[in-house]
Amino acid sequence: MSNGNKSSVARAQRLEQVLSQATDKPHVILLGGHPDPDAIGSALAHRRICERLGVSATIAHVLPLSRSENRALVKLLNVPMVRVDKTEDLQEFGYLSLVDASQHEPSIQLPDNLELLTVVDHHRPKSLPRAPFVDVRHDVGATSTIYAEYSEQGLAPLGGEGSDDTAVATAMFFGIQTDTDDFAFSTPQDFRAAAYLKPFCDAETLSRVGRRSISAEAMDAVGIALRELQVIRDFAIAGVGRVSAINRDAIPTAADFILRREDIDTVLVYGIVEDRVDGSLRTSRASVDPALFMQNAFGSDPDGRPYGGGRADMGGFQIPLGPLSECADEESLWKLVQELIERRVARVVPDLEKKLNQEARSKERE
């Protein structure tokens, strides 16, 4: 057995050991942000492992499902998820598992008695979390890839007992597909995981959720982004105003579209979603590290949690508006948000700072 296979087996065995020793209290698998296919697939895989070990586990999320294909995935596969919005909703649980994230969703305060037990993620964290089991690998394109490896190494393997193989495999496969941009950014591990999962997938469901429709609000956001686009060399930035929470993914949709312009290799699009500023970064330049870009531009909150993060070709950030969210003058609020984001991004894009300073001097002379 190669060293790689030995470590894979050891990780699967360690996760099994940690979960098997925590059967005295129910577990919650808490998804961060707006749940995407990789998070959903990973959560289903983790819940499946728990069930095989006699552990009670519930998948929960705070923010709503946004993209239409994500809602379709949950509906077609009958994914058991509950939405929570306050600390009391989590009081019944004793153990916390995080998938596709290394920090819990910041918009909800966790109960004091909720113990972080496991963390499995493929994003590069600012610092490694402390928990009995931590498996964070940024050399794979999706967290579902890691869970597929556990399964292949004998931890709740597909093709065994139970009737949930199809739903779990389909969600995990779609998670890998979407997080690697239809496998364009897949690693060898991602391809291996997809090959392992594919025989168990529901091809019709994959076809239906793969036809990704665009909401009217997303189309409007693309139009606003194009109209408000600022291009600085090969970098572009645009604000799209207020976007509803259910269509929050209008923001990354706009970023994806603008990145297709031939003279742009990095784009950042942002807007107001409920009580926060939400943004997405897309890049095709290998030298741009989205996680580092977000950290340098937006920093961390008072508790040391980064406002943004990223992976190989994309990143995102969320900054609470705080007292500004109570501003009744939407136009004034948007001007403040624009100024904040542009000044923060200028930390990383010096030419944007030059442009902003030139505009400020021109206004002074008027």
pLDDT tens per residue across span 75-108 = 999 999 999 999 999 999 999 999 999 989 888 9
Sign of the torsion angle spanned by Cα atoms 37, 39, 43, 45? positive
Mean pLDDT along residues 230-245: 92
In CATH, the number for domain 3-210 is 3.90.1640.10
Answer yes or no: is pLDDT of 315 > 90.
Answer: no
Answer yes or no: is pLDDT of 366 > 80.
Answer: no
What are the structure tokens assigned to 123, written together? 């994003």
Give the Cα separation of 154 and 51 in Å (integer).
15
Q: Which residues contact 364 (CB under 8 A, 6 or more apart)?
A: none
Q: What is the DSSP string of 284-302?
A: --TT--HHHHHHHHH-B-T
Q: What local confidence, expressed as pLDDT, does residue 255 receive? A: 92
| Cβ contact 259:181 at 8 Å | no
Q: What local confidence, expressed as pLDDT, does residue 210 receive? A: 79
Min mean pLDDT across 236-245, 289-298, 306-315 is at 306-315
Using a 10 angstrom Cβ sphere, with 0-12 exposed, 13-18 middle and 19 or more buried, the burial of residue 219 is middle
Give the pairing type, strands 133-136 and 276-283.
unpaired
Q: What local confidence, expressed as pLDDT, does residue 363 receive? A: 66
Answer yes or no: is pLDDT of 113 > 60.
Answer: yes
Residue 140 backbone phi and psi in degrees, to 5: -125, 160
Paired with 344 in beta bridges are: none
Q: On the CB side of 353, how many CA atoms lie within 13 Å of its CA?
A: 9
Q: What local confidence, expressed as pLDDT, does residue 302 receive? A: 82
What are the structure tokens assigned to 58, written together? 């519930």
Mean pLDDT along residues 144-154: 96
Q: Which helix (H) or strand (E) holds 34?
A: none
Strand extents, DSSP E, the chain: 27-31, 57-61, 81-83, 95-99, 115-121, 133-136, 230-232, 235-242, 266-273, 276-283, 308-310, 314-320
- Closest by CA position to 168, among listed 288, 27, 285, 52: 52
Q: Which residues contact 87 (CB under 8 A, 6 or more apart)?
A: 108, 109, 110, 111
Answer yes or no: is pLDDT of 222 > 70.
Answer: yes
Amino acid at 171: A
Match 């598992």 to its residue by tokens: 97
Mean pLDDT along residues 128-156: 94
Min mean pLDDT across 51-55, 140-144, 159-163, 288-292 is at 159-163
Mean pLDDT along residues 138-149: 95
Between 284 and 42, residue with greater pLDDT: 42
Q: What local confidence, expressed as pLDDT, does residue 337 receive? A: 93
Answer yes or no: is pLDDT of 3 > 60.
Answer: no
Give the Cα separation of 8 and 189 in Å (integer).
11
Q: Which residues contact 227 (CB under 8 A, 6 or more apart)?
A: none
Q: What local confidence, expressed as pLDDT, does residue 117 receive? A: 97
Q: Do the domains 3-210 and 216-365 sit in the same CATH topology, yes or no?
A: no
- What distances in angstroms separate CA 165 from CA 26, 45, 60, 81, 124, one per listed residue? 23, 10, 21, 18, 30
Model's pTM, two decimal places? 0.75
Q: Where are the domains of the chain?
A: 3-210, 216-365
pLDDT tens per residue across span 174-213 = 999 998 888 878 899 999 999 999 999 999 999 888 776 7
The domain made up of 216-365 is a member of CATH 3.10.310.40:
yes
Residue 131 backbone phi and psi in degrees, to 5: -160, 160
Answer yes or no: is pLDDT of 312 > 80.
Answer: no
pLDDT tens per residue across span 25-72 = 999 999 998 899 999 999 999 999 999 999 999 999 998 887 788 888
Answer yes or no: is pLDDT of 1 > 70.
Answer: no
Percent of the chain with pLDDT over 70: 94
Q: What is the DSSP string of 167-229?
A: HHHHHHHHHHHHHTTTTTT--HHHHHHHHHHGGGS-HHHHHHHHS----HHHHHHHHHHHHH-
Q: What local confidence, expressed as pLDDT, does residue 365 receive? A: 66
| Cβ contact 99:145 at 8 Å | no
Q: What local confidence, expressed as pLDDT, does residue 212 receive? A: 67
Q: What local confidence, expressed as pLDDT, does residue 4 receive? A: 59
Residue 66 backbone phi and psi in degrees, to 5: -110, -60
Residue 167: CB atoms within 10 Å: 22
- 207-213's contacts with Cβ under 8 Å and 24+ in sequence apart are 208/72, 208/76, 209/37, 209/69, 209/72, 209/73, 209/76, 209/174, 210/69, 210/174, 210/177, 211/69, 212/67, 212/68, 212/69, 213/68, 213/69
Q: What local confidence, expressed as pLDDT, does residue 7 receive? A: 86
Give the Cα separation of 332 and 363 in Å (integer).
18
Q: What local confidence, expressed as pLDDT, does residue 200 receive? A: 94
Answer yes or no: is pLDDT of 227 > 90.
Answer: yes
Answer yes or no: is pLDDT of 316 > 90.
Answer: no
